[in-house]
Structure 1
Amino acid sequence: MQFSYVNPTQIQFGQGQIASIPSLLPADAKVLVIYGGGSIKRNGVYDQVKEALKDIPWQEFSGVEPNPTKETLDKAVAIVKSEGINFILAVGGGSVIDGSKYVAAASHYDGEGWDILEGKHQVTTAVPLAAVLTLPATGSESNMGAVITRAETHTKLAFLAPAVQPKFAVMDPDVMKTLPERQLVNGIVDAWVHVCEQYLTFPADAMVQDGYAEALLKNLKRLGEQFADRDNDSWRANLMWTANQALNGLIGAGVAQDWATHMIGHELTALYGVDHARSLAIVQPSLLRNQMATKQGKVEQMGRNVFGLADGDDLAERTVQAIEAFFHSLDVATQLTEHESSKAEAIDAIVGQLEQNGMVALGESQAITLNESRQILEKAVA
């Protein structure tokens, strides 16, 4: 284990914490509030934010999509540049927060914003930002990553930059009360795969990272099992905090990370509009089976320590089956059905996108070539 770890995001966790925003903003803050489709106006969050900012100059930008697009976000960049905005407040889930990170970074760059996603511009400065989390899933509220879509080319890419790490994150579980069931399920699945991407690689004797990852997976498993009883403060708070911890950098510190499930899943979202979390559930079981030669040790460890399975020659396969059963218990499919073309055409399209986007050597060992991706998709596409 060799790593440097810091997480500078201040977390304001609990009921009523939106009111704390003024005390956390710079004295000279001129704020742009960025949000999505307007649900925050129906669930009371917008009014709470408006009240918190009543003595602070601010304006708003709405319309950020569930998979935030460069085309929409560039309009917010123009506002930041023209209006002298010096602080961004993202109010929403991972998509709004990711999109706000793009806005923050692109606003300090005179070139084409997409250069950031293609690695042509390295982000070193950005407009400071913070988040009011409304949908627990991605952990974007306290990490430095973002995933952005270019609608024109159906391209979905990610970037990482410490400069876009939120300064603070307000996490009030009460805001989850009006979330649709589908979004809560997506939050569980998304957080689950986030943990697995940092855990299901190869044994590294990282006792803290492994133990903490297993605790988070057991939390998510229990929350899924208790889904019918989700309308209570404890369930909401535990999902919100678990999803945050799944991707705040701690369990990935000093250990190998995979992320191939995400890279392939992104193409399902970009091409067929599959919910991000559900794209991950489609890819993960097939990918684990395809890569079992290198992942068997950790998959078996997960079977024992998370699912309580007995040892045996088939433990790894039984563990993958348990993962599938977990997804199915939440009514989440593990095969792609959204494609309107034939299976062969869908696979060709996805592999073509992977190749176009440079995703030709994925996984913790860069062993998932386009050929392996095709084999994974053979099992993942219905």
Structure 2
Amino acid sequence: MMKFSYYNPTRIQFGANTIASIATLIPKESKVLVTYGGGSIKKNGIYDQVKDALKDYEWHEFSGIEPNPLVETLDKAVAVAKEKKIDFILAVGGGSVIDGSKYIAAAALYDGEGWDILEKKHIVTKALPLGAILTLPATASESNPTAVISRKSTQTKLAFSSSAVYPKFAVLDPSAMVTLPERQIANGLVDSFIHTCEQYLTYPVGALVQDGYCETLLRTLKHLIERFNEHDDLLWQENLMWAANQGLSGLIGVGVPQDWATHRIGHELTAMFGIDHARTLTIVQPALLREMISDKAAKLSQMGRNVFHLPQTSDIAEKTIDAIEALYRSIGMPVRFSDCEITDPETPAKLVAALKEHNMIALGEKGNITPEISEKILTKAMR
């Protein structure tokens, strides 16, 4: 029986040439801090559009937020926000920039060490308001209350969530994708696909709307992967940007069990080896599905029928996992550690030790992925 509370206050401005609309969405008296990554927005024209839109504002900027944003970098932005008395954050980038900006918005109103937020020593109840201009669709961070932050000094990657860091608005301009490297687009595609799987590949609870919407998103993302050579087409970009947003903006996960073990384990791969987040997921997920197939057989079979259009056979669950893995391979994503040149047989044990250190000892929708099972999953991914 479903029981949930659904809330999403983020205004979506979707479509080409919508960046100028931020001038109507940020209060005129605001002191704005524009946050972004490595500077690609200065090459593709987005920076100039932001600059034009903010011509009547007092604004400052902070660049250099890296993929898998580091608290060591973000704390420098927090210092700027406090020094300049910033009262609005505008994140311009992908999920990492937006995640990092959520941390900045929360830590700017906290007098203690910002990492306390990630360790749950400080619960975020207030934050500076923020908006987002999305340049890389993947995580739906632009319209959800969650951020994942890394700490280089301890090789730790943790998440926090608070309704206080929901972006006030999100500009989704698909034309911003035009200069993205293929690797980043592929990462965004599979990240979105696996976000949806984490909320779908559990066990049946009769949630017809959520299942149906998940299957629509999965079919859409499968279609885009199969037509990856069309990624320069605006219609292709529009469909990815909207599908990625819907995959993790909260709607498909209400009232249903959720997994997230692939993400929890994947975070340790990023922290230890620096592998792109999405690529950790494609390494872990097939192995996890094979190890947990008895728990997930019903939903795997449903996905096989309704997403991959496989015939109902006694081994449809196994064939669905094979189809998922083949989909990732088709756009060059790794599905084994060896695809990332990681061959040390001690790797699974090292990663499990990190999981234990971060108290990731009861993962999955049933909490039954113990460290021992995590090691089996990781050992499968080594083969």
Matched, 1:194 2:212: no
| CA displacement 1:104-144 (0-9 Å, x = unmatched) | 11111111111111111110000100100000011100000
In 1, Cα distance between equivalents of 2:199 and 2:80:
37
1:343 CA drift (Å): 3.0
For 2:33, give the aligned amino acid.
L
Task: Write out aligned runs for 1:60-209 (5 A).
Answer: 60-209=61-210
Alignment check: 8 A CA contact 2:363 2:370 kept: yes
Q: Secondary structure at the match of 2:171?
A: strand
| CA displacement 1:209-235 (0-9 Å, x = unmatched) | 000000000000000111112221100
For 2:299, give the aligned amino acid.
K
**Aligned counterpart, 1:226:** 227
In 2, Cα distance between equivalents of 1:179 and 1:22:
26
For 1:213, give the aligned amino acid.
C
**Aligned counterpart, 2:288:** 287
In 2, Cα distance between equivalents of 1:98 and 1:342:
32
**Aligned counterpart, 1:299:** 300
**Aligned counterpart, 2:249:** 248
What is the identity percentage for the equivalent residue pairs of Structure 1 and Structure 2?
A: 61
| CA displacement 1:149-192 (0-9 Å, x = unmatched) | 00001100111110001000001010101000001100110000
In 2, Cα distance between equivalents of 1:235 and 1:340:
32
For 1:25, give the aligned amino acid.
I
For 2:10, give the aligned amino acid.
T
Alignment check: 8 A CA contact 2:334 2:340 kept: no
TM norm structure 2: 0.98
Q: Secondary structure at the match of 2:346?
A: helix
Alignment check: 8 A CA contact 1:262 1:280 kept: yes
For 2:324, give the aligned amino acid.
I
Alignment check: 8 A CA contact 1:339 1:346 kept: no
1:340 CA drift (Å): 6.7
1:344 CA drift (Å): 2.5
Q: Secondary structure at the match of 2:178?
A: helix
| CA displacement 1:348-375 (0-9 Å, x = unmatched) | 2211111111111101111001000000
RMSD over aligned Cα atoms: 1.0
| CA displacement 1:273-328 (0-9 Å, x = unmatched) | 11100100000011011111111111110000000000111000000000001001
1:82 CA drift (Å): 1.2
**Aligned counterpart, 1:17:** 18
Alignment check: 8 A CA contact 2:28 2:56 kept: no
Alignment check: 8 A CA contact 1:274 1:338 kept: no
In 2, Cα distance between equivalents of 1:224 and 1:305:
17
TM norm structure 1: 0.98
1:341 CA drift (Å): 6.7
**Aligned counterpart, 1:27:** 28
For 2:253, give the aligned amino acid.
G
Q: Secondary structure at the match of 2:60?
A: strand
In 2, Cα distance between equivalents of 1:304 and 1:349:
38
In 2, Cα distance between equivalents of 1:124 and 1:82:
22
State the number of aligned residues.
382
In 2, Cα distance between equivalents of 1:337 and 1:78:
41
For 1:378, give the aligned amino acid.
T
**Aligned counterpart, 2:359:** 358
In 1, Cα distance between equivalents of 2:248 and 2:228:
22
Give structure 1 regions of 4+ aligned residues with deviation exceeding 6 angstroms.
338-341
1:26 CA drift (Å): 1.5
In 2, Cα distance between equivalents of 1:249 and 1:60:
30
Alignment check: 8 A CA contact 1:104 1:128 kept: yes
For 2:336, give the aligned amino acid.
Q
1:342 CA drift (Å): 4.8
**Aligned counterpart, 1:347:** 348
Gap regions ≥5 residues in structure 2:
none
Q: Secondary structure at the match of 1:60?
A: strand
Alignment check: 8 A CA contact 2:343 2:382 kept: no
In 1, Cα distance between equivalents of 2:292 and 2:68:
28
Distance 1:339 1:348, change over 3 A: farther
For 1:325, give the aligned amino acid.
A
Gap regions ≥5 residues in structure 1:
none
**Aligned counterpart, 1:271:** 272
Q: Secondary structure at the match of 1:4?
A: coil
For 1:3, give the aligned amino acid.
F
For 2:311, give the aligned amino acid.
A
1:100 CA drift (Å): 0.3
